[in-house]
Structure 1
């Protein structure tokens, strides 16, 4: 008779401390590799599949052209081959936003003026479905009733997409004449041109209200509650009742939103903490002055708590304006890119004598551990300055895709901070241990993975078969929605640690395990639509994550 062995699984928790200690290592860790050429300047990116990244730029003379001859402003970057294929657009996508519908279609909206054969994009909406056989953009040039430049987006728990704020025209910072203090909600296949709803908060936080930070708050009542932050202030808002639930105290030290651009992240949600939401906002600046040093502080807060207060630390000891954050599979946060001085915007003056609004590039990445509140600052630096219009995202194999940087209105090469087409991959320390990585063999009965998305539902127990990486294994699982990345934002991004209900050895091969994982309890915890399943062994992610679709269908 064969005996079945079991492995116990512990849920990770957050240990709260008041300090933010630094523990530098003797030699820098992590590794940078220049792997390819984006051919389209990467102002916006989204992980569309386990191997494809969609790149979107504004109208400018990029390296490749669309089929009809215009310079391409959108393309697909293949992570495996580092090859680029142009996509067709007709409207200017400058400083727009994106988020996924529950059905897996990417909704993209807003933009700027016409040029180089492109139509104005201020009111445009665009759609692309990565699972289509030959995906490409479809557009409604005047889809929105109002113009939006620098709007924010978020996928709502019901699968619709919230579009919030922005300005009616391009501007260095917002003003009363251009301000668009409204939001609208789009549904896949729904009626076009939903009517805007007035949102007074975007008047109260003028003039620093462009690209407001928006996070959907977890709850167990399926309420559509969002945290919105701009300038130095935040609120909790109930979309269904049009009600401000509470106001959040002013964050210390300075302004955190465009053009004094900081970064906001919803830290990993954990079932052991009942999915308690913690927002962390880092960087920014105090004034629109070229030599002004970037803010070297971060604030953490749970905006759903009564009398919520900011808990501050020193951002690892280095100020950054325009930083990008990446939620890593091991529930830590990587910060890359940005500048040590100045603010977001194009250089002034001619190409041969430019005056850059931001300088002193921050080349060294930092990794923050939300559980211990410690910073690892002794990581290998990049050699590529990435400031205004830079991007970064986690990819399926656990590395980080980093691209972009274009602090000038048009393509300029051979200058101090040129239009940057080089693509880098950052290898985090967890891939440098020399230890074997686990392998995901099947999910919900599917053994051929990442050729199609595996559909799962909320609260479902999903069987996942893996080959463990190490003899003394400690298996954890997480599901990540990577969001739409632009301007130090990742719209709709969420990380959820999964409950491992059981882990059972294969009696014929003790290296193989059958896991039973419980999916998030409801769509306020993780948005419906595309996400990625990560399995880790002692903090080392599997060779590839698996593409999932969280569906609202419970039948």
Structure 2
């Protein structure tokens, strides 16, 4: 067996870069960045407008995203003439299409079911045109390209909850507050969790006292599934400065990890977290990485210039701290690139998550000093590298996501309660595409023609845990060296990418396909069980040395039918 781990680097050909002096705020014409022809630090390009401010975002196909906003006066309108709060964004046309949401999604959350449906839950009160979303569950149906809403189905109100795809194929909804707030407090705290769909006829809340113990900075708790081979659903939960492993099956805390050094990492002192890439060579040993945040709930307080890494599989493990590349950052977004590196982008140097106070020349911006450049973290070398800067400040209500062609979509930012354009930090509709340095390799890119005999990205291809899948791949040049991975792209909001996961795969065999020139038959082994990567939609990527496939292949991963 030839087992090779991924080292994904991307080739991106034909990028045209035009000269530009300075870009004004959102409403003006779209232009492209000038980076002097140097691609070594990546390049930025403004490609379109999001239609609604991208408070939430998720990838629904290889070339389409869905954005979700709160109630405000977006120019994009529903068919009834009311400002839309959700839009489908097409990466091929760079145009947005209004979607139908009628309940308030403000500060809700989302995760994917094993059947490939996106679930979003929670929100805030309604108004004359929108109903309350506080106990609402919404389903995004890819087959119709729009939403269904089920009002009042959650047993309690949830504002700033976290959601997570579970190994069972359903989703977890955990924490939050029962009313809108900047900092949580006991009178509105919701220290519980629930499941969708429920095991019975109605959703039921289950107590989680840890969310009371960790007040006040306990909103949008950081939650990840811990891989295991015992059939357990074990969660890593980080809130405030504390972390636990929690067994969903027993409803009990299994272990409390050491307190994390440095400041606070949860909303409104917002940091971000990921499980570092998992590999079969060490039995998918899980390490969590948490970065950014702040030490104090003060406008002038400088953000955390620190990250911590914790081994979740070792007894008495201690936090391994580093300097986050030397840059303080509140509200960073963490996005896996296809080579397993992590792009930290967006955010501010000072303050906390929230809206400006007041207006006009005397407005106080509670998050200030935008960090315009991303940093790239290499988890093998344990190094941070600063990359090319954007010119668009992206702070509160910004998002970042990997695109299956290896680029990164970045959009959003709205540090005020309603649409405001002619201000220092406007409501941002501009959509940017960042092309990381790995896109400029000269190695030939492989093109996946089919997966399990199906042409890729026409529909999700059904595959199963432990399955050996077959790909037909074309690539020019000399003998290839193929590697592979799975990435679940998650649901992004408030610097949390809920469910984002990166798993290295085993390449079992590569044969020359005698039926066509430069064509190969490749077999790849999928992960062993759903604690490693959750059932549902993910993308399978194949690499030739440092060059990616033209696009990842969209799959729907589940248990083999019995």
- Please say whether Structure 1 and Structure 2 have the same fold, judged by a TM-score greater than 0.5: yes
Q: How big is the shift at 1:143?
A: 1.3
**SS of residue in 1 equivalent to 2:188:** coil
CA spacing shift, 1:421–1:322, aligned 2, 3 Å: same
Within the candidate set 39, 45, 55, 2:57 is matched to 45
How far, CA to CA, are the matches of 1:264 and 1:398 in structure 2?
A: 21
| Unmatched runs of 5 consecutive residues or more in structure 2 | 8-37
CA distance in 2 between counterparts of 1:51 and 1:352 reads 41
Cα drift, residue 418 of structure 1: 0.3
Partner in structure 2 of residue 185 of structure 1? 195
1:532 aligns with 2:544: no
Give CA-to-partner distance per residue, 1:323-360, whole Å, 9 cap, x none.
Answer: 00111110110110000111000000114432100111
Equivalent residue, structure 2, for 1:468: 475
- Report the CA distance between 1:540 and its aligned residue: 2.2
Change (3 A) 1:376 1:139: same
**Greater Cα shift, 416-425 or 303-312:** 303-312
The answer for the alignment partner of 1:20 in structure 2 is none
**TM-aligned CA distance change 1:299 to 1:77, over 3 Å:** same
SS in 1 for 2:281: helix
Tell me which residue corresponds to 1:380. 388
Equivalent in the alignment of 1:224: 233
| 1:11 counterpart = 2:5 | yes
Could you give the per-residue CA deviations for residues 348-397 of structure 1, whole angstroms, max 9, x where no partner exists?
Answer: 011443210011111111111111111121x1100100000000000111
- The CA deviation string for residues 58-108 of structure 1, in whole angstroms up to 9 with x for no partner, is 010111111122210001001111111111111100000001111111111
Which residue in the other structure is 1:21 paired with?
Answer: none
User: Which deviates the most, 40-49 or 134-143?
Assistant: 134-143
Q: Which residue of 1 aligns with 2:117?
A: 105
**Distance across 2 between alignment mates of 1:435 and 1:127:** 41
2:130 matched residue in structure 1: 118
Structure 1 length normalisation: TM-score? 0.93
CA-to-partner distance for each residue in 1:120-145, whole Å, 9 max, x for gaps? 11111111121x1x221111111111
Whether 1:204 aligns to 2:213 is yes
In the TM superposition, what is the alpha-carbon distance from 1:512 to its structure 2 partner? 2.0
What is the distance in 1 between the residues matched to 2:90 and 2:105?
Answer: 21
Q: Is the 8 Å Cα contact of residues 529 and 551 (structure 1) preserved in structure 2?
A: yes
Distance in 2 (alpha carbons) for counterparts of 1:62 and 1:298: 36
Partner of 1:429: 437
Any idea what SS the aligned residue of 1:137 has?
Answer: strand
Distance 1:197 1:92 in 2: 25
Gaps of 5+ in 1: 1-6, 14-25
Is the contact made by 2:6 and 2:484 (CA closer than 8 Å) also made in structure 1?
Answer: no
Task: Report deviation, 1:10.
Answer: 2.6
Give distance in 2, aligned partners of 1:278 and 1:96: 27
More deviation in 111-120 or 508-517? 508-517
The question of 1:337 aligning with 2:331 is answered no
Q: Which range moves more in the overlay, 431-440 or 261-270?
A: 431-440
C-alpha deviation, 1:431, in angstroms: 0.8
Q: Which residue of structure 1 lines up, in the alignment, with residue 405 of structure 2? A: 397
Task: Provide, for residues 395-435 of structure 1, a one-character-per-residue CA deviation record: whole Å limited to 9, x for no partner.
Answer: 11111010000000000001000000000000011112233
Contact 1:351 1:412 in 2 (8 A): no
Q: Contact conserved, 1:12 with 1:272, CA < 8 A, in 2? A: no
What is the distance in 1 between the residues matched to 2:477 and 2:233? 42
Q: Distance in 2 between matches of 1:401 and 1:304?
A: 33
Cα distance change, pair 181–488 in 1 and its aligned pair in 2 (3 A): same
| Mapping for residues 104-503 of structure 1, pairs under 5 Å | 104-130=116-142, 132=143, 134-187=144-197, 191=200, 193-377=202-386, 379-446=387-454, 448-468=455-475, 470-471=477-478, 473-503=480-510
One of 71, 90, 96 as aligned partner of 2:102: 90
Q: Give how far 1:495 is off.
A: 0.8
Compute the displacement of 1:445 (Å).
1.1
C-alpha contact (below 8 Å) 2:272/2:495 kept by paired residues: yes
Query: Is 1:517–2:515 an aligned residue pair?
Result: no
**C-alpha separation between the residues in 2 aligned to 1:202 and 1:192?**
26
TM-score for both structures, normalised by structure 2: 0.92
Q: Is the 8 A contact 2:6 2:543 kept in 1?
A: no
Shift of 1:509: 5.5
CA distance in 2 between counterparts of 1:8 and 1:529 reads: 27
Query: In 2, distance between residues paired with 1:196 and 1:171?
Result: 21
Q: Residue 48 of structure 1: SS of its match in structure 2?
A: strand
User: C-alpha separation between the residues in 2 aligned to 1:480 and 1:102?
Assistant: 15
Inter-partner Cα distance in structure 2 for 1:306 and 1:376: 31
Q: Structure 1 residues 181, 554: CA separation in 2 closer, same or farther (over 3 Å shift)?
A: same
Distance of 1:60 and 1:434 partners within structure 2 = 46
Give me the whole-angstrom Cα distance separating, in 2, the residues matched to 1:353 and 1:83. Answer: 36
Residue equivalent to 2:18: none
How far apart are residue 501 of structure 1 and its match?
0.8
